[in-house]
Structure 1
């Protein structure tokens, strides 16, 4: 009997190792698992388009979640290896997702490695699958500019889930010096005078460890003292991991960095990540960015230095209708009067049957859920939590600030809730968020985070999940920014709005049966959901703002020492685009920072212009002129005008005041202090007073100043993070200093009541209160919050908030008019 034939001799050229068309490579894979029988249409469409454009240096691939992006990326990298454009690197947001990619590659029969030093990788035989932190750090195995290690080259780089990599990328280029590090005090002392020019009271707060203060170091002081800064920081360059892994990346652009100081740390970060500090990454012949279908891709230019022209023309499937089924509901809007507690209790009941995942913006909100949650996870335990959800029924699981980088397919998450708006965390982020609050730039970032979060529970086109958006601020945001979502998400939101209309006026308990219809695959719902996505296509161009392009170009020029040209690039973009005034002020400050390095006098004039546009930016060296707060004439009329302009109907009014009430909750989290102070300011506007924030706008005076009319004012100092059972001397003196400021700025025809917002009205034995002082205690504040909700509900009926007379009646009824407010909500101090 003849021995078996050796079919291996039939060919010397394997298609898998020679073809450049990804579809051909996929089809020829001999050992791929049965689930990869044939490529999906969306994969084939992307492969064909990419193959035609593959020689372009930067390419953006946009696909819906669940469109098989990992397979798409692996085949493109294999194509590049076959073409000789290696070594090939597949970068994920974290090590856990890198493990998932390698597992999928194994199932396909594609050789990968996790070792950058592997000979198989460096010779172009295997794809390196790694994560962003491993590639980009000051000790990178791939080499860093200025070190002596042998560099590992990259021919083709693919960054998967690019938007999810951004947070890590920013951290890698941010030097955070903790309070207990010797460099903290060295820098704090060096810039004490410059910080006092911005806010002497804030400097006192820093010295006394008051949370919530985040002070920017003026760019002119930072640049002028760069040698002194270098002398203080360089001796610590290898003192701990924070320095070792960041210092080599930012030392050459230290003079260009933004800097902020808090009571716990100093943060130093360049305006754009100098990605070219990793030469192998910058020199890669091909860079491929694989993202979900988010609406704005400017960050690829600012953060990855991607070519704007090619990023603006993404590669996509022909249609965007392959997204999984999502019913997206906003309970607080659909069922007016529903409380957060009712929604929470409802989800607890749902979690008896389904896995319910709640994404919250910060640890602060975890307290609301902790007693009812089966598990609460932060960044340190998130992946254990995800594994448990994917393994079976857990119940109600809370994830803190995890809007991206996790997959919760099928039964791992049948109900997904987003509770509240995403928040800024780092000191520099908080400063920027304050300066750009409610600007289109900041809203776009929030919507991107929200859409990323909404995508966690649907991971394939045959998956399904119910998404609940909780909280008045989040609900409000949807009203005013729906156009910023991707086309497929907009289509699902529009269909879900029809469901909400059908539910409106029904009892809250009916929500459960509607959710059951979706999760039990009601035929009519499934059909309507599919029809909603039918014909939805991807935009032919991506949004890449001219401002983002200018910011990156200006930073590049500044790196080269061409500071005047950097300023010109920023100014040209500011003048050529239509942007809101506060955003324009922020950008003028950036331009002034570059101009200062060549013409300090002109830079300071530009800074004055920036401060005119945006009171939250740095105050010029010679200070800011204070403008008195005008006295109101008719409180009810002023309130009616403000509310009518701000809210289109009573339902929006209820949501808006609900959002205001959310921010009026005392909190020890430093990041919440600015929003609390802003809420005290906005409260005045809602009830018809005038208001200012003098300390923020000029660096002097109280946190908030109200005008009640008839030349009566309220000087307010906010201590929303206080936990002590006594008012300390420092707090009492601060209120007294603010009264001195008032008497300096206003003549004797004006009167002011000093008010402290604090945990208690009991004075410490060493503290003395200014005559006439009042305290809005946290207990009184809680009563005020409940009153504001009732006030809003009453005004929402028949849109009564537009009627001057009815509004005046409600103001008096609830103790919110100028005659009653301080007497009703303020209490006298006493010695403890």
Structure 2
């Protein structure tokens, strides 16, 4: 072999360390060009100012080349002799994409071998190791745990927000009822008594319905007391897939875990996550997180142990306020008739052959609404194959993905029409439980806003990319429209929503519109209407930077308290929370939440103290765990205000009719069979109040009695047992459900004696099982009559469209109630039907 270097008349230069110089020397593909100005600016700032700092966040618009920036940073470190280096992607699919990107730019990357071992060129610091988050964060990771770990100098984590969910899953044990029936049954049986105390009705529903999604938390006191039995049960399955990758992380700290269940599975999740165990990440000399400008990075402080300074002072390019074009269309605001169902049916009937369309929905249940239309339903088995085909230009049917707000890219013609359908759900039961217990909490709302923004970004992946985005689903429209929640979005997204609202205003000419009106808007975007492009650009140039970030005090408190909890310093952990409660002004539900957190810690020290704090927590927030002591029920008072007066007070809470109808649409949307029980029951409570009745939820208040109770007159009541999660195919009302209703009837008679009551089960069938019998008169609210009730309620509210919502007289309200068949007699008689027995 000829050594050409000997022929050089100068000393061979060392490898470039400056990433900008390094790029110019790479053996790149001819299709690659020079670095973009944004990339140069970020790389220069990193090299000149931040090269030696431990924690960094690189925050750029989508499509500005974060992948290449991260690879060049790592290559620079290798050239400096500071290896090994790792580049982490959110999933294997994206890791494959980055692999080909690196090859295109001439950057040497290596992969973990098929034998699950490290390649030598990674260990020797000669190549960047490219992997995905699940490979590093699991209990049997080849990177090692604690003090037995693979040393890494620098780590880049791409799309870090998407990686956070995967890290949480690494700690989560999922015991499927169908695949692990014996283990599921054994654990439920172990805690059956305390679960019934927390809510016998919910527990019965979980036992009877495998698809029941509403969750229960096993009380921490029972979990701690029976940890030995739990360990003994789980240890039998340590070699099974559902447990083996998680067991090493939790086996010695079961008492510090929480356990949740629904009809489908049990989830066991640490109460506080200890990322320090993954030492390759935690002890890396430099950790660089890649983040989009639309995301709130304060979650990195608590979950990845990043410094607050790294979040407040990210490496970014402030010259550009926005990137990409999004025409946000909210059909229900353009015209009431543009319902979710109608928009889906209209958009999905076309065979799009010049570009792709995609719908993102929060759940498989919502995904099923597309199954009878001309759509391609994606699941875990076909999603990446179909996404690749779409990226390669194979269009046609609308792709429908469930709960995929990150981790998939559909740039340019791969997606010109995006349907963002309904409010995102949380996947983790711990997040679902926190959402239920803290519905108005800033962090919960920020997490939801973050998921929405991730969804909005799936189809616009670069500066010149563009897309029509349809926002449908009453809950999602309400969240985006609300002045309280809209502020949780980034300035760029807020301005895009404002442009969407201006489209609504420009369309309000008083004429009735057909679905073709929506197609006209699509054409203006897709066919590149000059007027639209200029209008969008002029409005987006008005975006103002927003330096506001999440509640730092709350995040720091939670992080410090959890660190003490992890280290078994329970008194110190509780004191951190107590000091925060003493110093901060919080909503009652948040106070209750943190009092339960104190009780959780106190139980490790003093059970008497824990019970006091748990009782105080439950008094402030009835969504939390019911304490062991008996809770006293407070019956309705004897005097009712008039229905019209009650309705007046509700209307006066809203500034405008538009705010009112948004709330009503959201409530009515949740009052549908197939919706999770908690949301359905909450909606039933809201509807009762909207109709002017006094309402309670006894099952939530004291864990006894019916789901909903309305007082509709003097000594006159309606009690409702809700079975919203029962499948349409259900033939009978089961014996267990009959027994449950009978118990509630007995409770009502014990409390209200001989009062007149209409006993209703809201369920899809009116057939009673052959082995079941009611001893009380019970009637049924089925789908057809529920739709009729909802329709009449909406018409009732629409009566006030042209009124000053704060000054409507009682006589006008009474007239509207009677006109729309919502009188007391109508409610008592018109929406229910008799039981049947085959």
TM-score normalised by structure 1 residue count:
0.93
C-alpha displacement of 1:85: 3.2
Distance in 1 between the 2:347 and 2:775 partners?
A: 49
Deviation at 1:187, TM superposition (A): 2.6
Decide whether the 8 Å contact of 1:458 with 1:464 is kept in 2.
Answer: yes
2:405 maps to which of 399, 403, 406: 403
Offset at residue 350 of structure 1 (A): 5.9
Do the aligned partners of residues 544 and 11 (structure 1) sit closer, same or farther apart at CA in structure 2, a change above 3 Å counting? Answer: farther
Give the equivalent residue in structure 2 for 1:41.
Answer: 37
From 419, 423, 426, the counterpart of 1:424: 426
The answer to whether the Cα contact below 8 Å between 1:92 and 1:98 also exists between their aligned partners in 2 is yes
1:213–1:376 CA distance, 2 compared to 1 (3 A): closer
* Offset from partner CA, 1:187-245 (integer Å, 9 cap, x none): 3233233223222333334443462452211112222333333233234322x011110
Distance 1:745 1:789 in 2: 34
> Using the alignment, how far apart are the partners of 2:579 and 2:12 within structure 1?
55
CA shift for structure 1 position 650: 2.7
- Distance (whole Å) between structure 1 residues aligned to residue 577 and residue 42 of structure 2: 35
1:795: which partner in 2? 800
Matches within 5 A, 1:264-275: 264-275=264-275
CA contact under 8 A between 1:319 and 1:536: conserved in structure 2? no
Aligned length: 818
* Aligned residues of 1:176 and 1:267 also touching (Cα < 8 A): yes
Residue 154 of structure 2: aligned partner = 156
Residues of 2 paired with 1:540 and 1:241: CA distance?
A: 45
- CA positional deviation for 1:159: 1.0
1: CA distance, partners of 2:349 / 2:199: 50
- In 2: Cα distance, 1:573 partner to 1:156 partner: 36
SS of corresponding position for 1:378: coil
Q: In the TM superposition, what whole-angstrom CA distance separates every residue of 1:579-602 from its partner, at most 9, and x where no partner exists?
A: 332123222212221222123222
Residue 84 of structure 2 is aligned with which of 79, 87, 101? 87
Q: Provide the secondary structure at the position in 1 that maps to 2:762.
A: strand
**Aligned twin of 1:259:** 259
Structure 2 equivalent of residue 357 of structure 1: 358
d(CA) in 1 for partners of 2:468, 2:328? 6
Instruction: State the Cα deviation string for residues 486-538 of structure 1 (Å, max 9, x = none).
Output: 12222222233223211123524333223222222222322232233336465
Residue in structure 2 matched with residue 290 of structure 1 by the alignment: 290
Following the alignment from structure 2 to structure 1, what is the Cα–Cα distance between the partners of residues 76 and 585? 43
| Correspondence 1:773 to 2:778 | yes
Could you say which residue in structure 2 is the equivalent of 1:99?
A: 96
Residue 51 of structure 2 is aligned to residue 54 of structure 1 = yes
Please list, as runs of the form range in 1=range in 2, the aligned pairs for 1:461-480 lying within 5 A after superposition.
Answer: 461-480=463-482
Distance in 1 between residues matched to 2:242 and 2:7, nearest whole Å = 54
For residues 32 and 572 of structure 1, do their structure 2 counterparts lie closer, same or farther at Cα, with a shift above 3 Å needed?
farther
Structure 2 residue aligned with 1:806, among 798, 808, 812? Answer: 812
**In the alignment, structure 1 residue 642 sits paired with structure 2 residue 642:** no
CA 1:135 to 1:706, structure 2 compared with 1: closer, same or farther past 3 Å? same
**Counterpart position of 1:632:** 640
**Residue 447 of structure 2: which of 445, 466, 473 is its match?**
445
The whole-number CA distance in structure 2 between the counterparts of 1:68 and 1:528 is 27
Cα distance between partner residues in 2 of 1:496 and 1:774: 45
Query: By how many angstroms is 1:370 displaced?
Result: 1.9
Equivalent of residue 719 in structure 1, options 720, 723, 726: 723
- Classify 1:519/1:426 alpha carbon distance in 2 versus 1 (closer, same or farther; 3 Å): same
Contact 1:43 1:67 in 2 (8 A): yes
Moved more, 103-112 or 584-593: 584-593
1:109 is matched with 106
Q: Aligned partners of 2:59, 2:706: CA distance in 1, in Å?
A: 49
Match of 2:592 in 1: 585
Where does 1:349-388 land on structure 2 (aligned, <5 Å)? Answer: 351-352=351-352, 353-388=354-389
What pairs up with 1:186-265 in 2 under 5 angstroms? 186-209=186-209, 211-238=212-239, 240-265=240-265
Give CA-to-partner distance per residue, 1:679-725, whole Å, 9 cap, x none: 11111112111222211232111111111121211111112233433
Structure 1 stretch displaced more, 415-424 or 199-208: 199-208
Question: Does the 8 Å CA contact 1:653/1:796 hold for their aligned counterparts?
Answer: no
Mapped pair 1:9 → 2:8: yes
Aligned counterparts of 1:725 and 1:99: Cα–Cα separation in 2: 48
Q: What corresponds to 1:323 in structure 2?
A: 323
Q: Does the CA contact (< 8 Å) of 1:638 and 1:689 recur in 2?
A: yes
Which residue does the alignment assign to 1:783?
Answer: 788
Instruction: Give 1:399 shift.
Output: 1.4
Conserved in 2, the CA contact under 8 Å of 1:336 and 1:651? Answer: no
> 205-214 or 681-690: which moved more?
205-214
Counterpart of 1:134 in structure 2 is 135
What is the rounded CA distance, in whole Å, between the counterparts of 2:488 and 2:9 in structure 1? 56
How far is 1:298 from its partner?
A: 3.0
What secondary structure sits across from 1:819 in the alignment? Answer: helix
Is 1:665 matched up with 2:672?
yes
Which position in structure 2 is the counterpart of 1:709? 713
Partner of 1:608: 615
Whether the 8 Å contact between 1:272 and 1:303 is mirrored in structure 2 is no
Q: Deviations along 1:318-350, whole A, 9 cap, x unmatched?
A: 234351111112111122332223322432366
Deviates more, 1:464-473 or 1:171-180: 171-180
1:682 to 675, 686, 706: 686
Question: In the alignment, which residue of structure 2 is the partner of 1:698?
Answer: 702
> Does structure 2 conserve the Cα–Cα contact (< 8 Å) formed by 1:159 and 1:290?
yes
Contact 2:652 2:805 in 1 (8 A): no
Q: Structure 2 vs 1, CA of residues 595 and 46 (structure 1 numbering), >3 Å: closer, same or farther?
A: farther
Per the TM alignment, residue 248 of structure 1 is displaced from its structure 2 partner at its CA by 0.8
CA contact (8 A) 1:701 1:741 kept: yes
1:755 matches 2:753:
no
CA gap 1:597/1:796 in 2 versus in 1, 3 angstroms: same
- Greater share of helix: 1
Q: 1:229 to 1:108 in 2, by over 3 A?
A: same
Contact 1:715 1:752 in 2 (8 A): yes
Specify which of 602, 613, 632 is matched with residue 595 of structure 1: 602
632 and 56 in structure 1: CA distance in 2 versus 1, 3 angstrom threshold: farther
User: Could you tell me whether the CA contact under 8 Å between 1:378 and 1:401 is conserved in 2?
Assistant: no
CA contact (8 A) 2:420 2:471 kept: yes
Q: Cα gap change, 1:685/1:160 in structure 2, threshold over 3 Å: closer, same or farther? A: same
CA distance in structure 2 between the partners assigned to 1:346 and 1:720 by the alignment: 28
- Structure 1 partner of 2:661: 654
Contact 2:742–2:776 (8 Å) recurs in 1: no
> Shift of residue 544 of structure 1?
5.8
Determine the C-alpha separation between the residues in 2 that align with 1:385 and 1:611: 48
Partners of 1:414 and 1:641 in 2: CA distance: 45
Distance 1:806 1:14, change over 3 A: farther
The residue matched to 1:621 in structure 2 has which SS?
coil
**What residue number does 2:564 align with?**
557
Unmatched runs of 5 consecutive residues or more in structure 2: none
